[in-house]
């Protein structure tokens, strides 16, 4: 009998779960408008979190936002806010905004 190797299940981040739930219709998204035009709720969320991470990267804090929460939500890699901000912009923000 052959030894079957069990593949490790890929664990999705809460952000990926939210994207999947929204695309399946399980998650109802709020309507967000900017300059009189509707924009996607996830686009707004990404822009706000990019702003927050950029502020944290410069050494300041944001009220109500913790680096640990953003790292958990997006699955960010890095020890400092600078590393997390760079990872976020390269691997999440640019990829999602390009779609």
| Of the candidates 36, 35, 41, 33, the residue with the CA atom closest to the CA atom of residue 15 | 41
Q: Is residue 16 part of a domain?
A: no
Residue 17 has pLDDT above 60, yes or no: yes
| DSSP per-residue codes, 20-41 | HHHHHTSSPPPPEEETTEEE-H
Q: Is residue 14 part of a domain?
A: no
Q: Is residue 5 part of a domain?
A: no
* Dihedral (CA of 72, 78, 79, 84) sign: negative
pLDDT digits (tens, 9 = 90+) for 63-98: 999 999 999 999 998 999 999 999 999 999 988 888
The rounded distance, in Å, linking the Cα atoms of 23 and 31 is 15
Q: What is the pTM of this model?
A: 0.83
Q: How many independent structural domains does the chain possess?
A: 1
Q: Is residue 6 part of a domain?
A: no
Q: Is residue 27 part of a domain?
A: no
Q: Is residue 93 part of a domain?
A: yes
Q: Is residue 71 part of a domain?
A: yes
Q: Is residue 23 part of a domain?
A: no
Domain coverage including residue 46: 32-98
């Amino acid at each position: 009998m052959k030894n079957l190797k069990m593949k490790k299940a890929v664990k999705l981040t809460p952000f990926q779960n939210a994207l999947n739930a929204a695309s399946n219709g399980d998650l109802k998204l709020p309507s967000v408008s900017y300059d009189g035009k509707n924009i996607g709720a996830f686009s707004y969320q990404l822009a706000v979190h990019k702003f927050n991470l950029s502020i944290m990267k410069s050494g300041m804090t944001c009220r109500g936002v913790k680096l640990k929460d953003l790292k958990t939500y997006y699955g960010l890699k890095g020890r400092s806010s600078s590393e997390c901000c760079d990872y976020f912009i390269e691997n999440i923000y640019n990829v999602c905004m390009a779609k």
